């Protein structure tokens, strides 16, 4: 996907509407607890402002379900953006409507307007499939998107976190722009470069690490990677579905019984493709999911009444050995219940192993979500080649799914 970016267009004297991912975490008092997503949007924002354009920024925050909710207002984002840019960033009362339209029209070059939370309007999240089947939904989505599109001369998409969605702001607005420029921001460009190029022409050995609770969430990824990687390392609760498929005892560990046959099938497919599947050889087990719960290390079979909550120390060593010498590493999903000690050790160990592989010359990609949180918590951000800004989006990209909102952007 060789898409045009803001670096390829002239924005001088133009109004640019830009889809950002400002879905930042807030505390109970609506204070931003991490401005990482805002900071990462700054290169694209500054390029447009320095180029003489004016900016209309739009984003969602949380899940207000189509209703106004002041606890999910983008007001804290407008305040933080003002501080970071050193200019006043005005907040529109809504993302559409006469007052918002007037504020956008009055923007001068170098000025920034942030639209209020897109998801305060139910039209933002109407799925395109539903809109195609229901004329009223299609009309509602189109009219909403047209109001947004009509405010600007150029559309910029820099929200990879929602790139797998066909929300109005991600897809329909671009459609409504017609022949006007529709380009990617630098965040999207970076994601396409790392994820796209890695899957297309990886340097080998190529090792993928997959974790998380459910096999069902990762089936598409495993199937798409089987003929692309040299090894797939599997941790997290999803490993117990594979254990059951192999006839091992898993106690009361989480298992998707409906997917045991599929796990067996995937192991067979991997063998045919010449892809090594590496499963844990031990687990940290407890009788309850509770921070500080009494625990012990079990081998590949887990006794009744116990459940696996993390990979064990031998598995951590095994996984580290598999990463040693790798030239490409992709990691998506934790190795255990990493939110609570002592069941966070396996995820920590993998994070450190990925950083070590990177130090040894590997290109490493961490696929957002819980994996990214673990890397940040351990202070390893600078030791990873790329941390994706989209958990769900990076997962679907690894599945090989097509992103209509990216396809619609202008080709170089």
| Active-site residue list | 37, 214, 369, 392
Strand partners, 308: 285
Cα–Cα dist 393/87, whole Å: 32
Which tokens hold the place of 85? 């840019």
Handedness of CA 132, 133, 134, 137 (dihedral sign): negative
Listing DSSP states for 98-159 in one string gives HHHHHHHHTPPTT-EEEPP-GGGSGGGG--HHHHHH-HHHHHHHHHHHHHHHTT-SEEEE--
Instruction: Name the CA radius of gyration of the chain, rounded.
Output: 23
Cα–Cα dist 230/241, whole Å: 22
Q: 3-class SS at 147?
A: helix
Q: Which positions ≥6 away from 44 have C-beta within 8 Å?
A: 6, 18, 156, 158, 185, 186, 187
Instruction: Please answer whether residues 310 and 291 qualify as being in contact, where contact means their C-beta atoms are separated by less than 8 angstroms.
Output: no
User: Do β-strands 154-157 and 182-184 pair in parallel, antiparallel, or remain unpaired?
Assistant: parallel
What is the CA angle 362-366-368, rounded to 5?
170
Write out the H or E segment, with its range, that includes residue 89. Answer: strand 89-91
Q: How far is CA 133 from the centre of its chain?
A: 29
């Amino acid at each position: 996907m060789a898409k045009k970016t803001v670096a390829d267009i002239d924005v001088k004297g133009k109004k640019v509407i830009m889809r950002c991912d400002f879905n930042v975490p807030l505390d109970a008092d609506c204070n931003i607890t991490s401005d990482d997503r805002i900071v990462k949007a700054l290169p694209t924002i500054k390029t447009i402002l320095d180029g003489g354009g004016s900016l209309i920024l739009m984003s969602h925050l949380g899940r207000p379900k189509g209703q106004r909710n002041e606890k999910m207002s983008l007001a804290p984002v407008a305040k933080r953006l003002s501080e970071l840019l050193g200019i006043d960033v005005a907040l529109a009362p809504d993302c559409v409507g006469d007052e918002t339209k007037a504020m956008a029209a009055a923007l001068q070059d170098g000025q920034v307007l942030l639209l209020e939370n897109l998801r305060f309007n139910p039209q933002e999240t109407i799925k395109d499939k539903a809109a195609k089947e229901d004329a009223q939904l299609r009309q509602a989505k189109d009219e909403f998107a047209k109001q947004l599109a009509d405010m600007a001369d150029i559309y910029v998409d820099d929200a990879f976190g929602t790139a797998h969605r066909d929300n109005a702001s991600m897809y329909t607005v671009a459609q409504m722009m017609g022949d006007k420029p529709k380009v990617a921001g630098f965040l999207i460009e970076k994601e396409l470069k790392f994820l796209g190029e890695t899957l297309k022409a990886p340097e080998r050995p190529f090792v993928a690490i997959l974790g998380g609770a459910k096999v069902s969430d990762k089936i598409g990824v495993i199937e798409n990677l089987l003929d692309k990687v040299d090894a797939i390392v599997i941790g997290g609760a999803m490993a117990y579905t594979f254990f059951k498929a192999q006839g091992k005892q898993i106690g009361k560990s989480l298992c998707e019984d409906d997917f045991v046959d599929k796990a067996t099938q995937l192991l067979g497919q991997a063998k045919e493709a010449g892809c090594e599947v590496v499963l844990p050889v031990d687990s940290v087990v407890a009788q309850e999911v509770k921070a500080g719960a009494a625990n012990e290390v079990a081998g590949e079979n887990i006794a009744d009444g116990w459940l696996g909550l993390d990979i064990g120390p031998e598995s951590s060593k095994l996984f580290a050995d598999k990463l040693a010498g790798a030239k490409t590493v992709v990691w998506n999903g934790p190795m255990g219940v990493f939110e609570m000690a002592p069941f966070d050790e396996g995820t920590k160990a993998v994070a450190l192993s990925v950083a070590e592989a990177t130090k040894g010359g590997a290109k490493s990609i961490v696929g957002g979500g819980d994996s990214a949180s673990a890397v940040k918590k351990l202070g390893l951000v600078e030791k990873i080649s790329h941390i994706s800004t989209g958990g769900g989006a990076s997962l679907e990209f690894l599945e090989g799914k097509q992103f209509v909102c990216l396809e619609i952007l202008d080709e170089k």
